[in-house]
Structure 1
Amino acid sequence: METRALRVLSANIQAGSSTRGYSDYVSRSWSHVLPAGNKRGSLDLIARLASQHDIVGLNEADPGSLRSGFTNQTHYLAQRGGFDYWTHQPNRRVGGVASSANGLLSKLEPHEVVHYALPGRVKGRGVLLARFGEAPEALLVAIAHLSLGAGSRLSQLSFIAELLSGHRHAVLMGDFNCGVEAPEMGALFRATRLQPPSCNVPTFPSWRPLRAIDHILVADGLRCAEPRALAAAQSDHLALSLQLDVPEAALR
């Protein structure tokens, strides 16, 4: 069976803000709502990293609010990183001055992109689902940023499981805010063909990674190398990168 090697990246970019320690959440809190700091420089570094990949999933990309200087950061990264295809899913708004989105950058043309709202106690989370190919077993790539609360995550993962159930060429990536050992993750694995990773790669906090809460989960019809953690400029999360071997038939 012929396969195609694709490099995949998942990155929570914190809207281009810089966080180098827990104290920055307080001392640099202004950077999360104001168009200050070197966000453009951070985005250029992230674009350089993204450009080495074929498919990129983004979390916390600003879709064009005050804090980003009204720059659609997903579009900016697509232009700077050399991606012909991009889309974003705005979800949470913060005080009318900041907004956040899931984003997709791709060098392959998606056949279809669908945005879904996720359930949860607090509204504003979503999952972005892209289909590459027209075949029933086409490659599916889902990008999500899950809630902090376990109950909401369980509802969200149950919703995502319905979207991906039975698909053996599925990928789910993003900031899950929990490890793969969490009970709600077990429910996801039981309801889909997604597989737990063979090793945990800590991604948070970026300056001293202790928790593996960012994931690229791959279904059993795909082969992949172990993910690597890479710096996404000065975001508080490290990015995850892996190589995915996809059957050519799944991309047609």
Structure 2
Amino acid sequence: MSQAITSEQFSKLEQGKTTCFFNESLISDFTAEMLSPSYWQRQDAVTGSAQGRGTTWFVAYKDNNNNQHDWVLRHYYRGGLIGKIIKDSYWFSGVESSRAACEFALLRHMKTLQLPAPEPVAYRVIRHKLTYQADLLSSRIQDAQDLVAVLSEKTLTDDVWQRIGATIKRFHHHGIYHHDLNSHNILLDDKEQVFLIDFDRGELRTNPVNTEWKQANMARLQRSFLKELNKLAQFYFTEKNWQALMSGYQGLN
């Protein structure tokens, strides 16, 4: 037996050990199955995929007015050494504290701030006794590539690098902590507009005195550029590019 609890345009759906939360204004005919790749495969609605810790699926959804929406479906996988042992299970301490619910809430908050990040569509948490598994459905940034893909093909102007830095500063200015800020999680669209993605384990940090996390974020990003530079045969990144990025970051008050 399922029960829907509506709050504004968002709804909660509970079916046994499965709990879902979704944006009714985007997906009025929601079912829990929509958080599974097999659902979209049966609908012949998979438009692509990408490999990371697991497979990220790109899917197309048509609403009741026949408008198409392009979304990203991601399953939560553990990283590091523990991820080799416990692939995708997390200790359960409540739905609202799950990885999916926290990222969904942060994406909702960023949307109210009009920050360039994906829009949350739905999430699913499946409880297994003391653990859970989770999935997230969010909007896809249209006609965009991550910086690693872009910089493997071409150089960027100082203006674009400065815009990347200024965009990151906007997030930091609003207290948005990105747990894994790296060159894969920054996108450029075909108009060279900048977006940040993948806010798993991200947080809202409102203490204006503590700025160490911002410095750590930027240091992590710089290391990721250097890592790709050492790994890839062709990767257009120099110290001058980093200085231009930091110029954009420091120029926004």
TM-score by length of 1: 0.26
**Which structure shows the higher helix fraction?**
2
TM-score by length of 2: 0.26
**Which structure shows the higher strand fraction?**
1
Please tell me whether Structure 1 or Structure 2 has the larger radius of gyration of its CA atoms: 2
